Amino acid sequence: MRLILGLVVSLVTVAQASAATMKAVVAHEYGAPEVLKYEDAPRPEPKENELLVRVIACGVNPADPLVISGRLAKEFGTHLPLIPGYDVAGVVEATGAKVTKFKKGDAVYGYALFGGGWAEYAVLAENEAALKPKSATFVETAAVPMGALTAWQSLIDTAKVSAGQTVLIHGGSGGVGSFAVQIAKAKGAKVIATASTANQDLLKQLGADVAIDYTKTKFEDVARDVDVVFDTVGRDTLARSYPLVKKGGIVTTIVSRPDQAQLDKYGIRGSSIWSHPDGNELAEITKLIEAGKIKPVVGQVLPLTDAVKASQQAETHHTRGKIVLKIAEELKT
């Protein structure tokens, strides 16, 4: 009899666990940000190499509206119903059987390759996550993963920026550009950065040696013989940048593809960057945050229920730093 009762209790427990729900922002169809719905959704279960994270905050990226629209669904490996959100910051609730680096209660952050962060709970693969910087809040930390990793993989992994070089950063006040300015400075480079009039002060605060107001000054009138161009703008901004690069230098872009004919003409290299999760690189970025060399820039904090508004603002590509959705109250770590 006890065996039967124990089995019944176990089955009930399993059923309850499988039926666990959470609040989340969900897209049941592709389209404009207005397709997003704040509703109950099944709580995810971590696989053997994953962490279940109770989300405190999650970043909003310009790529999010493109994923929601379906235009980047293939690249991001998404399918419907879709919970967006790639920049997760929170506390480990449970770990898969093969997870060794993290335990329940750890404050972590990471770039979730398949999204899911605009919810009360999300999963991160162990190799996507790092321990949260103790000197930053969860909201600040949620502004970091995708933007900082994109800048890192462009400037460090691809361009090999080093001390004494000159780096021209287009869009230095944005979610990626603001990290690029700080990472380049941390590596000892001279930084020339562009932004609008309203963000000239931010460029200086980030450490830019030369701040260019692109609404008043042509950047090619100021920048000459640079070692690296990091482009977050595209269009004619990229086209006008090739002649400014030293022979043997490099142009990296996150919004376009370099023109091979122009690269050949000036004897330079080019690369189109598509960022990827990397917990080890996030740990390196954490060190720079702890050392005060990188400060996340949070332009606006909104509740999860305002995800539509946040997506609409991200769609403009004119945010100062990052928009962050606050999902739960901050915890002391």
- The answer to whether 165 touches 228, Cβ cutoff 8 Å, is yes
- Label residue 147 left, alpha or beta by phi (over 0 means left) and psi (-120 to 50 means alpha): alpha
Q: What is the reported pLDDT for 315?
A: 84
Sign of CA dihedral 72, 140, 276, 165: positive
CB neighbours (10 Å) of residue 163? 8
Check residue 63 and give its pLDDT.
86
Q: Is the C-alpha dihedral spanning 31, 36, 42, 47 positive or negative?
A: positive
DSSP code at position 220: G
What's the length of the chain?
333
Question: For the structural domain made of 21-144+296-326, what CATH number should be given?
Answer: 3.90.180.10
* The pLDDT value given to residue 173: 94
The reported pLDDT for the residue numbered 319 is 75
In the chain, which residues have pLDDT < 50? 1-18
How far apart CA 34 and CA 326 sit, in angstroms, is: 19
The span from the first CA to the last CA of the chain, in angstroms, equals 47
Per-residue pLDDT at 78: 78
Q: What is the pTM of this model?
A: 0.91
The predicted structure's pLDDT at residue 286: 98
Q: CA-to-CA distance for 151 and 162, rounded, in angstroms?
A: 14
The residue type at 155: L
Domain boundaries, the chain: 21-144+296-326, 147-272
208 and 191 Cβ atoms separated by less than 8 Å:
yes
Residue 205 in contact with residue 180, Cβ under 8 Å? no
Could you tell me how far CA 307 lies from the centroid of its own chain? 16
User: So what's the pLDDT on residue 19?
Assistant: 63
CATH 3.10.310.30 fits 147-272, yes or no: no
Q: Tell me what pLDDT residue 333 has.
A: 53
CB 207 within 8 A of CB 187: no
Question: Residue 332: its pLDDT value, please?
Answer: 62
